[in-house]
């Protein structure tokens, strides 16, 4: 579900970026406003997707691993770890 939310927000972000860039370039009376706005929108979409997945999925781990919590063996604390 989080993946679809990221994609949806990236699409909204890129559409808003397109209209904002288009508006600014029309105010500055630059040529090729649609091309530049589209290019900026596509680059913004890709950057948003990349950073969102890196931020939200960066701390994920393989679900096949199981966690062994720290334990006390012979009076010493044995560290916890992940094992397959």
pLDDT digits (tens, 9 = 90+) for 20-56: 888 888 888 777 778 888 888 888 888 888 888 888 7
Buried b (16+ CB within 10 A) or exposed e, 50-71: eebeeeeeeeeeeeeeeeeeee
Asked if residue 30 belongs to a domain, the reply is yes
Buried b (16+ CB within 10 A) or exposed e, 12-25: ebbeebbeebbeeb
Q: Which residues constitute the domain of residue 5?
A: 1-58
Asked if residue 49 belongs to a domain, the reply is yes
Asked if residue 78 belongs to a domain, the reply is no
| pLDDT tens digits, 9-20 | 888 888 888 888
- In 3D, which of 78, 57, 60 has the Cα closest to residue 69? 78
Strands 66-68 and 76-78: what pairing?
unpaired
Asked if residue 81 belongs to a domain, the reply is no
Is a pLDDT exceeding 80 seen at residue 63?
no
Asked if residue 34 belongs to a domain, the reply is yes
Is a pLDDT exceeding 70 seen at residue 84?
no
Yes or no: say if 70 and 80 are a contact pair by the CB < 8 Å rule.
Answer: yes
Q: Which two tokens stand for residue 21?
A: 């860039």
- pLDDT for 52 equals 82
Count up the domains in the chain and report the number: 1
Asked if residue 10 belongs to a domain, the reply is yes
- pLDDT for 77 equals 92
Asked if residue 7 belongs to a domain, the reply is yes
């Amino acid at each position: 579900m989080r993946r679809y939310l990221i994609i949806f927000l990236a699409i909204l972000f890129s559409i808003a970026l397109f209209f904002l860039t288009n508006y600014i370039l029309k105010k500055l009376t630059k040529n090729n406003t649609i091309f530049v706005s589209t290019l900026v929108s596509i680059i913004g979409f890709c950057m948003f997707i990349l950073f969102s997945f890196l931020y939200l999925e960066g701390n994920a781990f393989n679900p096949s691993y199981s966690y062994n919590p720290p334990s006390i063996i012979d009076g010493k604390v044995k560290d916890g770890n992940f094992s397959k």
